Amino acid sequence: MDANIEDEEDQQHYAEAEKVDRLIKRFLEDLENDIHKLLCSNETLDSSEYHNNRGLDSDRETEEEVETAIRFFPDVLSRKIGVFYPIQLLAFTRYSYHTLHSNTSNWCCNVKAVSFIPILARLARELGVFEEEERGGLLIKDDLYRYNGDENALHLLMLNVIENPQNQGHQEQCEHNDDVYLQVLIQLRKIGLLQKEDIQKYDLLIRFCTEYNYFPEKRFRFLVEWDPNVLITHGNLFPVHGSIRSFQVVFENGIRYFPKKKGLSLLFKKYVSDGMGYGTPFQWACALHGYKKVLEVVEDTLSRYSDTPINIVEALVMAAIDENIHLDCVYFLIRREPDVLRNSLPSTPTTPSAMVMKDDENGDDNGDRIRNASITSAMDSSSNKRKREDKTCN
């Protein structure tokens, strides 16, 4: 009798223990799912919900709380939502807005959550969630191909779009975004998860050329200061559709780090740009802002860096022999220092350079025409009769 009672009690105890285990397991599964959802929730329905609870919020959650949750459930770092991992979703938010005919969404800065990216990357590397070469998930490529190529979390940290760029105060919001995202880059650099070679390897600065709303000046300066060579080795970095200020910032950094000749030539490198066709940053800027305004910016920048003057002769020679540099560069240099040809080349009263000097002194209106002839002559002799194919920006 007693044995039967004991057996029944054991069975009841076992059943209760199993029930408790199932409840605990379900609780832990639900908790893990909730944490994963918190990491991945980055979507807003409209601007009125921008500050509502939609995921991690640096004004609410602390780094210690997020780290504790991830250490309990490290697998959340490797679980996707759609094509994205949590570390990628922290960098942007999808803002949806409605029109009369359609619903549209935009990728915008996720300033509430982006500051947690260094924590996720550091813990993922420490806990072995991803492969070593994936650097804590930062270098994992998504499958969306927004830029005709694979995109990783570092690319997303170049984002600088806000939800309502037409609203009053959007400039201040963009500047705040730039500050927040800059701090993330600084933290990643400190812990060794952002490396110098990433700047060129992943074309990070190229992303700034496509931003219409605001040029992320602080992030641009941070990356260029770390690797100035990116200015001269990695294509056009001038924002084709940007403000005159963005044009000035890029040119200023070129003159700052390469004052002798290469910095100036950045203005006149020939590229092909979507929407603008074949041309140079100087030509595109003139088309957008006007020749006079662009020239004022260029001259102002050069005057502020006059302590490291440009070697005009070297710059002239480089412009003459490099087919990737438009002849506008030569014309610009000659106009700035018209004596350069007379001082560096043998001249007679009948040489083109002497004719230019004489016409300028006499106020001849044909000076520019004759100067162009002198430049073309110089180019022919120094670059195997290279022809001027592009029109001068005016």
DSSP secondary structure string, 111-125?
TTTGGGHHHHHHHHH
In a domain, 125, yes or no: yes
Tell me which of 150 and 130 has the higher pLDDT.
130
Spatial neighbors of 331 by CB under 8 A, at least 6 apart, are 371, 372, 375, 392
In a domain, 3, yes or no: yes
Q: Which two tokens stand for residue 141?
A: 């490529």
Of the candidates 196, 188, 243, 192, the one whose C-alpha atom is nearest the C-alpha of residue 224 is: 196
313: exposed, middle or buried (Cβ count in 10 Å: 0-12, 13-18, 19+): middle
In a domain, 262, yes or no: no
Rounded to whole angstroms, how far apart are CA atoms 44 and 47?
7
The pTM of this model reads: 0.78
Among 50-59, 125-134, 151-160, 321-330, the minimum mean pLDDT is found in 50-59
Average pLDDT over residues 17-30: 92
In a domain, 365, yes or no: no
Question: What band does 4 get if pLDDT is binned at 50, 70 and 90?
Answer: low
In a domain, 2, yes or no: yes
pLDDT of 91-130, one tens digit each?
998 766 555 555 556 778 899 999 999 999 999 999 999 9
Reduced to 3 states (helix: H, G, I; strand: E, B; else coil), residue 249 is: helix
The domain total for the chain is 1
Rounded to whole angstroms, how far apart are CA atoms 280 and 260?
20
CB 259 within 8 A of CB 307: no
Rounded to whole angstroms, how far apart are CA atoms 349 and 338?
16
pLDDT at position 348 over 60 = no
pLDDT of residue 40: 93
Q: How high does pLDDT run on average in the chain?
A: 79
Measuring CA to CA, how many Å separate 235 from each of 32, 231, 280?
45, 8, 11
Give the domain extent around 107: 1-194
In a domain, 367, yes or no: no
Radius of gyration for the alpha carbons in the chain, expressed in angstroms and rounded:
30
Candidate ranges 17-21, 102-106, 110-114, 350-354; pick with highest mean pLDDT: 110-114
Q: Which residue has the tokens 């199932």?
A: 22
Tell me which of 256 and 364 has the higher pLDDT.
256
Question: What band does 143 get if pLDDT is binned at 50, 70 and 90?
Answer: low
Distance of CA 139 to the CA centre of its chain: 16
Q: How many residues does the chain have?
A: 394
pLDDT of 58-91, one tens digit each?
999 999 999 999 999 999 999 999 889 999 999 9
Spatial neighbors of 131 by CB under 8 A, at least 6 apart, are none
pLDDT of residue 233: 83
Rounded to whole angstroms, how far apart are CA atoms 333 and 298?
12
CB 357 within 8 A of CB 342: yes
pLDDT at position 220 over 90 = yes
Among 12-16, 216-220, 252-256, 265-269, the minimum mean pLDDT is found in 12-16
Rounded to whole angstroms, how far apart are CA atoms 28 and 163?
36
pLDDT at position 182 over 70 = yes
Tell me which of 199 and 261 has the higher pLDDT.
199
pLDDT of residue 309: 67
pLDDT of residue 341: 65
pLDDT of 267-297, one tens digit each?
898 876 655 567 888 998 998 899 999 999 9
pLDDT at position 376 over 60 = no
Tell me which of 49 and 156 has the higher pLDDT.
156
Tell me which of 211 and 134 has the higher pLDDT.
134
Distance of CA 67 to the CA centre of its chain: 29
Rounded to whole angstroms, how far apart are CA atoms 36 and 86?
8
Q: Which two tokens stand for residue 360?
A: 């300028």
